[in-house]
Amino acid sequence: MDVLLAIITLFGLYGLVTVGMAVTFAATRVVNLAQGDLVMVGAYTAAVVTGPAFGWRVTLALVGAAPLLVLIERLLLRRPLSDPLATMLVTWGVGMALRQVAELQFTSTARSVKPPIAGTVTVLTAPYPAYRLVCGLVAVAVIGLVLLAAYRTGWGLTLRAVADNPTMAALLGIDPRRLRTIAFVLGGLLAVLAGALYSPLLAVTPTMGFGLLVPVFFGLLFSRPGALATAAAAALLIAALSVLLRVWMSDVLAEVLFYLIIVAIAALRSRPWIRRYSSWLTRVRVPARAS
């Protein structure tokens, strides 16, 4: 049971960041390499603003980060958007700048956040820290809401349309610029939320988001562009693999095996026969969903 809870908690963290990255990627075809550092921004807001209750600090992180994200998108990403590599480098630079600002402002000494809910709860005979559970469940609920929005609302439809064929979507009257801004802000906010929500479980340092980038990046790699559900599923797979391996063996061995498996999946996926099989699967599914 506690293995399941551990998977939920880790999936919440990976899932929020991966789905956020996938939303940005769907609309802009840009891998936002500053995503990890946005987690750090969220965590620092929760760590530094000590006055209000924890819930308000999380809200503050989101409200404060939104204009920042709009600015980044409008000022830095709009121009080089035609060149995905250049845009990716810009996001890399943004991430580096965020890390340096945090280091100058708060030094590299780690900070901690007191969990708003202390104590443990017993879930089917397994005692589990209460806040860890709450935070995992909130994250899973938010991921669910984002997926619901993507598959059941008009906005979600336009997002998927732009992800599928931006030129055609523009011809049909969708303003891709507006959508890109909204998608970038939403994607970024999911990372900020992850940082603020998970700050009581982590050490808050300027470089804390950097380590998240690898699992999240693989999550994005395993998903189909525009299909946010596959991104969430990939994050779940990665979280489950990471937890299960570490339950069965020592951390050091588990890490080596984890990367071996992930890289093997990535390599296998690109084999032609598997590709053909998966694209055949999609082709069957697409008309079924459209009807």
Partner 1 sequence: MAHTRSRAGAGVLTAAVVLLALSGCGGSAVSDAQDGGKGPLKIGVIVPLTGPVSSTGKALRNGFELGVKKVNAAGGVGGEKVRYVVVDDAGDPATSTQLARRLIQQDRVSMLFGTITGDTAEAVGKVADDAKVPFGTAILGDVERCHPYGWGFGESTRQLLTPTMPKLIEKYGPKVAIVGSDYNYPHFYAGVVKELVKREGGSVVAEEYSPIGQTDWQPVIKRLKAARPQVLMAMVVGADAVSFSQQAKQFGLLTPGLGYEGAPLDSDYHPALGALVNGRTHTVRWADGLDDPESRTFVADYRAAYTFNAPIPEVAGNAYFGVQFFLAAAKKAGSSDGKAINSEIARLTFDSPLGKGTRFDPANHVFQADMLEATIKPGMEYEVSRRLGRIADTTPKPGCS
Contact footprint for partner 1 (CB under 8 A): 2, 6, 9-10, 13, 96, 99, 103, 107-112, 114-115, 120, 127, 129, 131-132, 200-205, 207-208, 210-212, 242-243, 246-247, 250-252, 254-255
The least distance separating partner 1 from the CB of residue 33, rounded to whole angstroms, comes to: 10
The least distance separating partner 1 from the CB of residue 200, rounded to whole angstroms, comes to: 7
- Bridge pairing between strands 126-129 and 120-123: antiparallel
Residue 158 or residue 242: which is nearer to partner 1 going by CB? Answer: 242
Measured distance CA(15)–CA(136) in Å, rounded: 10
Burial 259-285 (b: 16+ CB within 10 A, else e): eeebeebeeeeeeeeeeeeeeeeeeee
The least distance separating partner 1 from the CB of residue 159, rounded to whole angstroms, comes to: 29
The least distance separating partner 1 from the CB of residue 3, rounded to whole angstroms, comes to: 9
Residue 179 or residue 202: which is nearer to partner 1 going by CB? Answer: 202
Q: Which residues pair with 128 in a beta bridge?
A: 121
Which residue has 């950097």 as its token pair? Answer: 210
The least distance separating partner 1 from the CB of residue 28, rounded to whole angstroms, comes to: 22
The least distance separating partner 1 from the CB of residue 82, rounded to whole angstroms, comes to: 25
Measured distance CA(95)–CA(93) in Å, rounded: 5
The least distance separating partner 1 from the CB of residue 208, rounded to whole angstroms, comes to: 7
Residue 128 or residue 222: which is nearer to partner 1 going by CB? Answer: 128
How buried is residue 164: exposed, middle or buried, by Cβ count under 10 Å (0-12/13-18/19+)? middle
Residue 206 or residue 226: which is nearer to partner 1 going by CB? Answer: 206
Could you please report the per-residue DSSP string of 86-140? HHHHHHHHHHHHHHHHHHHHH-SS-B----SS-SEEEETTEEEEHHHHHHHHHHH
Q: Is 119 left (phi over 0), alpha (psi -120 to 50) or beta?
A: left
Residue 212 or residue 232: which is nearer to partner 1 going by CB? Answer: 212
Residue 17 or residue 183: which is nearer to partner 1 going by CB? Answer: 17
Helices (H) and strands (E) in the chain, counts: 12, 2
Measured distance CA(30)–CA(100) in Å, rounded: 23
Residue 99 or residue 180: which is nearer to partner 1 going by CB? Answer: 99
